[in-house]
Amino acid sequence: MIKSVKFLLALLFQGFCLYATAQTTEPTFKTDSIADKMLTYQLSNGAWPKQLIDKSVVSYKKPITPALMEIIKATDEMHATIDNSATTREINALVKAFKTTGNKSYLQAAEKGIDYLLKAQYKNGGWPQYYPDKSSYRAEITYNDNAIINVLNIMLDIVRQSNGFDVVNINYIAKADNAVKRGLDCILKTQIVQGDKLSIWAAQYDQNTLKPAKARNFEPASLSTSESVNIVKFLMRIDQPSLPVKQAIKNAVQWFDNAKIKGFKFEKMANGDKGLIADVNAVIWARFHDINTNKPIFGDRDNSIKDNVADISFERRNNYAWYGDWAVGLIQKDYPKWLKILGE
């Protein structure tokens, strides 16, 4: 009988100790290996680089060796960018990682990245490709590769508390709302006017004059189809769109419909070179169209502009997306759905 009582008391004491330990020990969180690497790559100003100081592209699949760690440490804030989805992809990934793991370091890093985006925005509402580096075309307002649209989608998600961004501190909502309004104003001001009609957008603009600008030698100031599709898709996310927003969308879609190239696709041919191949079912657009004539144009590394993709160098012709079906889904699905939602 006495042994039974002692055994029972021992069990009770053990249970009490376990309970006490659970109340005093800091909770442990799961980790995410990719998110952990993102924390390592994050620059001191909150942004991320797309490539390191040794010109190597950031890849979260690579193990962080001591040698790589030294390179990461040597990469400074001048490499901070929104180009090629840098910074925005990390913010999105870290928010999701926090939702999954509860690890607050991921959310803190994401919010530090958001601070960077807010600080980098120009007064006119645009964002530069790089910040604080202002050399060459890096200071230009950059829609190229969806840089600004990636940022604005994050800001809109913060405002709406959507796509996981309900975890972000509520103090960011007003700041993000202001950023969206200014960004939207920039989009409307930079839509290119042809005569008395709106068309689409260029890939880059001078940050002071808001005039279309060139980037690399083979990226002339022009109407840029790929980027413009995603600008329109962002505009379609706006709740209760104003008349100017509606006009911007409708005119852009009309431009795409008028500029489509039917019956061809751009692919590698039997001789190993890329070119236009007949395909009765294909619908494509050139990546760049002349601002005044809407005709396709093609740039080369020597800064020359050609009217025919066959006239540029083999290297450029085969290593750039000169044609694509970017606007097919916009015209056939997204635009009709948007009109239906608006009741138009």
Q: Which residues are catalytic?
A: 84, 216
Q: What one-character-per-residue DSSP string does 81-137 give?
A: B-GGGTTHHHHHHHHHHHHHH--HHHHHHHHHHHHHHHHH--TTS--BSBSS--SGG
Q: How far is CA 84 from CA 90, 141, 151, in A?
A: 12, 14, 12
Residues 293 and 250 sit within 8 Å (Cβ to Cβ): no
Read off the amino acid at residue 7.
Answer: F
Burial 139-165 (b: 16+ CB within 10 A, else e): bbbbbbbbbbbbbbbbbbbbbbeeebb
Residue 28, C-beta contacts closer than 8 angstroms, at least 6 positions apart: none
Q: How far is CA 95 from CA 38, 109, 111, 113, 330, in A?
A: 12, 9, 9, 11, 28
